[in-house]
């Protein structure tokens, strides 16, 4: 049991570190080229480790693809894989420090693609996290105990979600997320000297907003599917009872 708990702690810790690195990577203006690219290298190393840990998911892919419940998860994961591949490729093209020796030059188009891929990846990571949120919280409850599932804790969490979603909508406009997602180069400037916290709080709230949306939509879909299955099974039992009489 302690060994299993240690594995889950490592997995959750890795995801938390990767998410923090993604938020830090969004602050290219603040970190500068060299640190931005080094953060990216460490982040992609984390992605490789994360995928190596979850190789069973790929092994189960053919079987899960036949299950309607898993198709949306597979779609999100495939889109995430594509966006990360584009992000990695565009990183090599626009690199000015770590991979400058490659002699590649993407110009303005390369930067546009890189910004689009980075923004899409951040949102897809948030959706990916939201779709697995029940699993994460199940592990946290096991480790922390009843406190994590108490009514007071759930109420506080829901209030925080509402605040995060509201702030996430506001931050999406302030940080030009929509503009970046359509591939339009944004010249948005953030005053890091006076509001560094606001930048990271904005992106963190955007992540929370998409994660919450994915989580609650999946819960709603699951309840709807269970209700439909229950009605179908009752009808089947009714037909069986009437035929036996």
Q: Where are the domains of the chain?
A: 68-229
Tens of each residue's pLDDT in the chain, 245 residues: 566 667 777 888 898 999 999 999 999 999 999 999 999 999 999 999 999 988 888 888 888 777 777 788 889 999 999 999 999 999 999 998 999 888 888 788 888 999 999 999 999 999 999 888 877 666 556 655 555 556 776 787 788 889 989 999 999 999 999 888 887 765 567 889 889 999 999 999 999 999 999 988 887 876 666 666 666 666 666 665 555 55
**Structure token digits, residue 158:** 């829901």
Instruction: In whole angstroms, give the CA distance from residue 170 to residue 17.
Output: 25
Distance CA(93)–CA(105), nearest Å, equals 6
Helix (H) or strand (E) holding 56: helix 55-59
Residues 87/39, Cβ–Cβ less than 8 Å? no
């Amino acid at each position: 049991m302690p060994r299993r708990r240690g594995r889950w702690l490592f997995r959750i810790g890795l995801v938390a570190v990767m998410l923090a690195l993604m938020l830090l990577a969004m602050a290219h203006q603040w970190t500068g080229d060299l640190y931005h690219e080094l953060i990216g290298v460490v982040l992609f190393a984390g992605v490789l480790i994360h995928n190596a840990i979850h190789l069973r998911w790929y092994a189960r892919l053919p079987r899960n693809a036949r299950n309607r419940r898993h198709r949306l998860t597979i779609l999100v994961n495939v889109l995430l894989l594509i966006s990360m591949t584009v992000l990695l490729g565009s990183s090599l093209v626009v690199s000015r420090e770590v991979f400058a020796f490659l002699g590649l030059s993407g110009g303005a188009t390369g930067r546009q693609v890189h910004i689009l891929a980075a923004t899409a990846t951040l949102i897809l990571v948030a959706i990916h996290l939201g779709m697995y949120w029940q699993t994460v919280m199940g592990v946290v409850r096991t480790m922390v105990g009843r406190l994590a599932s108490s009514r007071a804790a759930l109420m506080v969490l829901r209030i925080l979600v509402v605040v995060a979603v509201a702030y996430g909508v506001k931050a999406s406009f302030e940080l030009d997320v929509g503009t970046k997602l359509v591939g339009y180069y944004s010249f948005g400037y953030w005053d890091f000297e006076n509001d560094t916290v606001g930048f990271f709080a904005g992106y963190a709230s955007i992540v929370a907003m998409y994660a919450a949306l994915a989580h609650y939509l999946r819960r709603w879909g699951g309840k709807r599917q269970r209700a439909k299955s229950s009605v179908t099974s009752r009808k089947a039992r009714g037909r069986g009872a009437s035929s036996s009489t």
